[in-house]
Amino acid sequence: MVRSIIMLCIWFFIFFDLPGTSTLIDSLAAGQSIRDGETLVSAGGITKVGFFSPGNSTRRYLGIWYTNVSPITVVWVANRNSPLENNSGVLKLNEKGILELLNGKNSTIWSSNISSKAVNYPIAQLLDSGNFVVKYGQEITNEDSVLWQSFDYPCDSLMPGMKLGWNLETGLERYLSSWRSVDDPALGEYTVKIDLRGYPQIIKFKGPDIISRAGSWNGLSTVGNPGSTRSQKMVINEKEVYFEFELPDRSEFGISSLTPSGT
């Protein structure tokens, strides 16, 4: 009897309690990795991080996309300027809390950008918002525990809750930059930035040239549908200057993307 209860418990643990054996995990601990073909899925099942090939390309990139949006809409790319030539890529969180993308020769082709002082129990977690966050595993609620986050390094898409603009204390500028083409997420010609000269405004550039000014920040108000519950704001204070929008109704989906042709 005792023996069969123990067996039952073991069986239970094997099938239900080992996140490592399931594909539905949202985070990596130090030393853990995913390889091409595997994904991390956010806790609510809303976003995924994994490997993909854009358009007609056969090259492989590490990206983030929404699970329920079809066709696949990639909102962030890690190695946009350094593609993997085949599906031997591996994403690993190292002991210092740095995300490393390795190719088939174990060379690092991309890594997250943080000072590499030792970190206790770092964890890399994909959130439902689409933000991929590296933080101290033991104090996960404090924003200061964030070591690195993909929201600080936007590609061509602004998602709800993501800041477009400046952290004036650190000098970090978050801006959108277009893909080169639908087949190539490399840095393209167009950027959308917040210009701090004068009253802060959103400006679209082609290379170094200004091609449009939002004038007021309502220039991005085409995000989403009319009648949506979207709220948007421009925050200007001594620490930060940024634009952000929210979709309080979680059943709504909306992102703002800068296309390769600059629209």
Ligand X SMILES: *[C@@H]1O[C@H](CO)[C@@H](O)[C@H](O)[C@H]1NC(C)=O
Give residues in contact with ligand X (CB under 6 A).
55-56, 85-86, 88, 103-106, 113, 153, 182-183
Instruction: Report the alpha-carbon angle 30-32-37, nearest 5.
Output: 150
By beta-carbon proximity to ligand X, the closer residue of 260 and 262 is 260
Concatenate the DSSP letters of all residues of 161-209 into one string: T--EEEETTTTEEE-EEEEEETTEEEEEEEEEEEE-SSS-EEEEEETTE
Nearer to ligand X, 46 or 49 (CB): 49
| Shortest reach from residue 197's CB to ligand X, in Å | 22
Q: Which is nearer to ligand X, 39 or 103 (CB)?
A: 103
Please identify, using beta-carbon distances, which residue of 55 and 215 lies nearer to ligand X. Answer: 55
> Cβ 8 to ligand X, closest distance in Å?
36
Q: Shortest gap between Cβ of 131 and ligand X (angstroms)? A: 15
**Nearest alpha-carbon partner for 188 in 245, 255, 262, 134:** 262
Q: Which is nearer to ligand X, 6 or 182 (CB)?
A: 182
Amino acid at 198: G
Nearer to ligand X, 105 or 197 (CB): 105
Rounded Cα distance, 194 and 219, in Å: 12
Residue whose tokens read 């609510």: 44
Residue 31 Cβ vs ligand X, minimum distance, rounded to whole Å: 10
Q: For residue 213, what are the contacts with CB-CB under 8 A and spacing of at least 6?
A: 201, 202, 203, 204, 219
- Closest CB to ligand X belongs to which residue? 104
Least Cβ distance, residue 88 to ligand X (angstroms): 4
Show Cβ contacts of residue 23 under 8 Å, excluding neighbours closer than 6 positions: 38, 39, 41
Q: How far is the CB of 148 from ligand X (least distance, A)?
A: 9
Bridge partners (DSSP) of residue 90 are 35, 102
30, two tokens? 């130090």
Strand partners, 64: 49, 76
Query: Which pair of structure tokens corresponds to residue 75?
Result: 């909102």
Min dist CB 154 to ligand X, Å, is 11
Token duo for residue 128: 């439902």
Nearer to ligand X, 53 or 232 (CB): 53
